[in-house]
Amino acid sequence: MKAEKIWMDGSFVDWDEAKVHVLTHALHYGSGIFEGIRAYKTEQGTAIFRLKAHVERLFNSAKILKLEMSYSRDEIFQAIVETVRVNRLDSCYIRPLVFRGYKKLGLSPFTCPVQVMIAAWEWGAYLGEEGLAKGIRAIVSSWQRSHVNSTSAKAKLCANYINSIFANMEASELGVEEAILLDSNGYVAEGPGENIFWVKGGIIYTPPLSAVLEGITRDSVITIARDMGYEVREEFVARDVLYIADEAFFVGTAAELTPIREIDGYIIGSGERGPISTVVQEKLFNTFKGKEKEYLEWLDFV
């Protein structure tokens, strides 16, 4: 994973020179927020998917963590576009990060400067090409999502991802590709870096937005599925509902739409990518590539 330049605090620096001090506040306490965005190669050139929504969420996350941004939404939007352009990337993943830098250690963050960086690089299928086509295996993690009074799920906080990392390590040590986390009430919440959907009797379900990140892919999938005529419901359910679902899938910027074929050893549906997952995935992937006219407004061309 490498590209040429990284945008750091207002200017481009060489990839290998984008460095911070070891006493950076965020390195010790996770006091940062980030975004994950993808750009895709389309017939009309490289396009960034739902950039406005990602910039909006970045600013909301910054507000929740009280990180004063010295750039406007428009400046960050332009800097992200420029980062893709200067690196001459077509399909890529983009990672903006806003964090407390180095000045004085100790929990109180306010004396530490707010730093901003934007990197972009080529990143293929998050859970493997085969996973996109055939589905992956998952477990329900013994780690649960943090209670809404323990952290903010609305903010894409660096520190939140420790919870995700525990779940990820557990899944990989058990030999499956991904974990599913329950919320503090025991209901299905999301993956470590994905929202989750399942299908039962032709209806598509996903958990409500409470302890889960308000995913932009989640929103896109709900919109696309409803436009296709499917009913989409938001419901709190226990893990056993997943075991008897007809289909299940993860969605996220990195994971795109990845079917889940097995959960805790239970085969989901027919054990392969289900029919509704297949058509929604196809529509979503065509949308990314600018092939769906009705969703062209979601693309910003580089």
Q: 44: which 2 tokens?
A: 């009309």
Whole-angstrom Cα Rg for the chain? 19
Using the rule CB under 6 A, give the single segment among 19-27, 212-220, 236-244, 294-302 that binds ligand PPE: 212-220
Residue with tokens 């490498």: 2
Closest CB to ligand PPE belongs to which residue?
36
Using the rule CB under 6 A, give the single segment among 58-66, 80-88, 197-205, 210-218 that binds ligand PPE: 210-218
Using the rule CB under 6 A, give the single segment among 24-32, 61-69, 171-179, 211-219 that binds ligand PPE: 211-219
Question: Does 103 qualify as catalytic in the annotation?
Answer: no
- Told to check if 155 binds ligand PPE by CB under 6 A, we report no
Residue number, 2 or 43, with CB nearest to ligand PPE: 2
Closest separation between CB of residue 189 and ligand PPE, Å?
Answer: 9
- Told to check if 46 binds ligand PPE by CB under 6 A, we report no
282 CB contacts (<8 Å, ≥6 apart)?
Answer: none
| Window 81-110: residues binding ligand PPE (CB under 6 A) | none
- Told to check if 217 binds ligand PPE by CB under 6 A, we report yes
Closest separation between CB of residue 301 and ligand PPE, Å?
Answer: 20
- Told to check if 177 binds ligand PPE by CB under 6 A, we report no
Q: Which of 46, 194, 284, 288 binds ligand PPE (CB under 6 A)?
A: 194
Cα 26 from Cα 114, distance rounded (Å): 10
Cα 203 from Cα 49, distance rounded (Å): 26
Closest separation between CB of residue 220 and ligand PPE, Å?
Answer: 8
Closest separation between CB of residue 245 and ligand PPE, Å?
Answer: 19
- Told to check if 207 binds ligand PPE by CB under 6 A, we report no
* Half-sphere exposure of residue 83: CA atoms within 13 angstroms, side-chain side: 34
Contact string 111-150 vs ligand PPE (x = CB under 6 A): ----------------------------------------
- Told to check if 213 binds ligand PPE by CB under 6 A, we report yes
Residue number, 47 or 254, with CB nearest to ligand PPE: 254
Residue 211's nearest CA partner among 145, 144, 143 is 145
- Told to check if 193 binds ligand PPE by CB under 6 A, we report yes
Closest separation between CB of residue 207 and ligand PPE, Å?
Answer: 11
**Are the CB atoms for 39 and 302 separated by under 8 Å?**
yes
Catalytic option among 19, 134, 156, 200: 156
- Told to check if 206 binds ligand PPE by CB under 6 A, we report no
Position 284: which residue type?
L
Catalytic residues: 156
Catalog residues that contact ligand PPE under the rule CB under 6 A.
36, 164, 190, 193-195, 213, 215-218, 252-254
